[in-house]
Amino acid sequence: MKFSNRITATKASPIRRLMPFAIKALNEGKKIYPLNIGQPDIKTPPSFFKVFEDFDKEILAYDQSQGNPDLINAICNYYKNYNMDFEPDEILITNGGSEAILFTIIAVCDAGDTIIAPEPFYANYNGFASAVDVSIEGVETKAEEGFHLPPKSELVKKIKSNTKALIISNPSNPTGVVYTPGELKMLVEICTEHDLFIISDEVYREFVYDGLEFKSMGSFKEAQQRVVIIDSISKRYSACGARIGSIASKNKELINEIMKLCQGRLCVPTIEQLGAVELYKTSDSYFREVNAEYQKRRDIVYNALQKMDGVICREPKGAFYVSAKLPVDDAEKFIIWCLEKFEYNNETIMMAPLEGFYSTEGMGINGVRIAYILNTDELTKAMSVLKKALELYPGRK
Amino acid sequence: MKFSNRITATKASPIRRLMPFAIKALNEGKKIYPLNIGQPDIKTPPSFFKVFEDFDKEILAYDQSQGNPDLINAICNYYKNYNMDFEPDEILITNGGSEAILFTIIAVCDAGDTIIAPEPFYANYNGFASAVDVSIEGVETKAEEGFHLPPKSELVKKIKSNTKALIISNPSNPTGVVYTPGELKMLVEICTEHDLFIISDEVYREFVYDGLEFKSMGSFKEAQQRVVIIDSISKRYSACGARIGSIASKNKELINEIMKLCQGRLCVPTIEQLGAVELYKTSDSYFREVNAEYQKRRDIVYNALQKMDGVICREPKGAFYVSAKLPVDDAEKFIIWCLEKFEYNNETIMMAPLEGFYSTEGMGINGVRIAYILNTDELTKAMSVLKKALELYPGRK
């Protein structure tokens, strides 16, 4: 009995696979600042939990495979605020953004096909794709340029006859870049010229700072048949443990195809969907508050990183991540060293090695992703610990 | 832009795809007895909902990718009642049994590989497999023989060099057959001789009637490295809408491989897992009551079917399904006719066409799956309606 080649080729998540080192450090009594994972400390709006308290059915039955109709309507309404006009039959509810990505990849790619993506990109794109024999072809973006896109020619170079789609996350996990309208337009042009689907992962849509305005791929009417919007309530409403995501596309045929996969897995959790309906009613003031908080955190992290010798990054404009190059031989070794060998007043930090967010071999070796999901006091302390660690690390370069 | 071949080749669920006809009939004011879907009418134990009422955290955070440790321990304990000894690191919590099946198929099969299965089999095996380029090779079992297994030679005939696994559901969805210890032993022998994984879907483990004892594939110590147990709380505790399933295997390496997929999709709903912990504490008396109720229902349906001219089936011994051959030209046409053209005192029935539970073309054309998930009064009425429909159907043979 052998395992499949595709599963052995699938890499463990760079965000989660160093957990055993963290658990060991915790057991040794160290305090760890967890900057590795995008688990916000923001409170979930209480309206969500109210639904759980009030649920009065005696049988927890299946919901519809497409998703709860009230939730679908709530999402249609939500998109109207972003000038996107989706009909209920253009939406599917999924088990988190994760399932939305996996199902979309299966629907647009056969085994052996490729998807292009500016790299570094959300690490789990690699995992989902490789599990179903698809490869992500990375197009390099640079810390020095704030991870903005390279010229069109660089992107086009990566497109081959078996390229079926482009995938982006915008605002980006892991880099925090928010693509400009010009960059998005260029991507739309490329995908139109090369007849590619555009998978636009916009789960951080609300997390945009410095007064920037977010533009969705869904707002390009000329490309609406090729655009698939991936969404999730996890970050938007700090409800990561609900696992409610969605797919939206004006391409009804594509929705019908993906619907077959939704029927296969029967449905998404019934009560969690009811909770999500309430979340989508959350007032704008919630986002304004949350946004202001994240902007403060971004400032703390970015300003601290700027002052550390040899660290390279540009100010991130969205999501709650910053990717940076560190003056170290190997970021993964550095992170493990921080957990195993290092402490500063019995405290240490955990980050995600950036290498796992690339598909191109050898890229991102000295990069890390830092999630600024702690409060400002904690983040300030975490940055001092990081500074100290970089000073003491034997593999410093 | 073309969709993938694998998605276009994937068939819509036979259990759910006729829903539009049902919705139309409902809108016309007809009452439909829904015998098509395994949605039990049994109450979910209230301990589940208590967890939701009592949840007192303010942030709905991610849980661990492997699953909630308390739930994993609860499942280990539960298996001990069936003489199966699993360690916590041999269990993964999944988004329903559905995800458990999909992940296991990905982990043991590459694109182009095959899995053998006695057919008819749970229709969604086809869907999951075909979505990831795997085919299910059906081994015929017959209504006339109560869908018990054919001789070893018939099974072996279907094994090719690219066959990686056997999959069964036991008790079986859709046939209700409970395999004898002898049959299971034969399957273990075959899989050992041909070095195949054994994927044993035992989500109906408790639903066994007439005093029969259930034997799990997990009880064959000699095969424990090749056995993967698929499980779910959906039917066991009438909690279909929770979407909590699991994978159990003594093959720790396999668990580690599948864990990569679990990490990719981050986690399973946090609160639903806490609810599941409570469900696994449900007393045996619950199962005795539920079992007695299903046995009564089974009797009503089976006795009624026996008395209908031209209907072929044997007494099912487990799960809550019976598969039967009907005296009709085409069962799907018959089901649609029941919804569109037929009514008896303004009532009709919905069933699942059995053809979708086969992978061999042309099989199961005149078969249906009936789920006996209504109370005894309703089921008695539903059977009268079916009898009438069969008498009046123009395509009767």
Condensed to tens digits (0 to 9), the pLDDT of residues B8-36 reads 999 988 777 788 899 999 999 999 999 99
CA distance B63 to chain A (A): 6
| Residues in chain A within 8 Å Cβ distance of B46 | 58
Confidence of residue A1 (pLDDT cuts 50, 70, 90): confident
Interacting residues of A73 by C-beta distance below 8 A, sequence separation 6+: A88
**Chain A: residue whose CA lies nearest to B111:** A111
Confidence of residue A7 (pLDDT cuts 50, 70, 90): very high
CA distance A308 to chain B (A): 32
Q: Please, what are the domains in chain A?
A: 5-43+285-392 (3.90.1150.10), 46-279 (3.40.640.10)
Q: Hey, of A3, A93, A173, which one would you mutate to test binding to chain B, going by the most B CBs within 10 A of its CB?
A: A3
CA distance B388 to chain A (A): 30
Quick one: which of A200, A130, A97, A253 has its CA closest to B132? A130
| pLDDT > 90? residue A255 | yes
Instruction: Report yes or no: A154 and A185 within 8 Å, Cβ to Cβ.
Output: no
**Chain B: residue whose CA lies nearest to A42:** B59
- Give me the interface pTM, i.e. the ipTM: 0.95
C-beta atoms of A59 and B53 within 8 A: no
**β-sheet bridge partners, residue A163:** A114
Condensed to tens digits (0 to 9), the pLDDT of residues A145-178 reads 999 999 999 999 999 999 999 999 999 999 999 9
Cis before residue B45, ω within 30 degrees of 0?
no
C-beta atoms of B59 and A40 within 8 A: yes
**Chain B: residue whose CA lies nearest to A56:** B49
| Residues in chain A within 8 Å Cβ distance of B258 | 7
Confidence of residue A19 (pLDDT cuts 50, 70, 90): confident
Name residues of chain B where pLDDT drops below 50: none
Confidence of residue A333 (pLDDT cuts 50, 70, 90): very high
| Residues in chain B within 8 Å Cβ distance of A12 | 259-260, 263
Please report the number of interchain residue pairs, chain A to chain B, with beta-carbon separation below 8 angstroms: 239
How many residues appear in chain A?
A: 397
CA distance A35 to A38: 8
User: Computed over its alpha carbons, how large is the radius of gyration of chain A?
Assistant: 21
| Residues in chain A within 8 Å Cβ distance of B111 | 6, 111, 133
| pLDDT > 90? residue A252 | yes
C-beta atoms of B111 and A133 within 8 A: yes
Going by the DSSP 8-state scheme, the letter that residue B309 receives in this structure is: T
Quick one: which of B245, B172, B183, B168 has its CA closest to B208? B172
High-pLDDT (> 70) share of chain A, %: 100
| Residues in chain A within 8 Å Cβ distance of B49 | 55, 60
Condensed to tens digits (0 to 9), the pLDDT of residues A89-133 reads 999 999 999 999 999 999 999 999 999 999 999 999 999 999 999
The pLDDT score that the predictor gives to residue A17 is 77
The pLDDT score that the predictor gives to residue A47 is 95
Give the relative orientation of helices B252-264 and B96-108 as an angle to the nearest 10 degrees.
120
**Chain A: residue whose CA lies nearest to B227:** A1
The pLDDT score that the predictor gives to residue B233 is 97
Condensed to tens digits (0 to 9), the pLDDT of residues A175-220 reads 999 999 999 999 999 999 999 999 999 999 999 999 999 999 999 9
The pLDDT score that the predictor gives to residue A35 is 95
| pLDDT > 80? residue A15 | no
CA distance B234 to chain A (A): 9
Cα distances (angstroms) measured from residue B57 to each of A48, A286, B35: 12, 19, 40
The pLDDT score that the predictor gives to residue A361 is 93
Concatenating the DSSP letter of every residue in B338-361 gives HHHT--BTTEEEE-EEGGGG-SST
| Residues in chain B within 8 Å Cβ distance of A132 | 106, 131-132
- Buried/exposed B204-225: b ≥16 CB within 10 Å, e otherwise: bbbbbbeeeebbbbbebeebbe
The pLDDT score that the predictor gives to residue A83 is 87
Q: Which of B61, B195, B264 shows the shortest C-beta gap to A1?
A: B195
Quick one: which of A148, A198, A189, A151 has its CA closest to A171? A148
Average pLDDT score, chain B: 96
The pLDDT score that the predictor gives to residue A39 is 85
C-beta atoms of A98 and B44 within 8 A: no
C-beta atoms of B62 and A37 within 8 A: yes
The pLDDT score that the predictor gives to residue B130 is 96
Q: Which of A16, A65, A241 shows the shortest C-beta gap to B270?
A: A241
The pLDDT score that the predictor gives to residue A263 is 93
Give the relative orientation of helices A252-264 and B123-131 as an angle to the nearest 10 degrees.
130
Average pLDDT score, chain A: 96
| Residues in chain B within 8 Å Cβ distance of A270 | 241-242
Residue with tokens 């995908």: A191
- A209 is written with which tokens? 């700072």
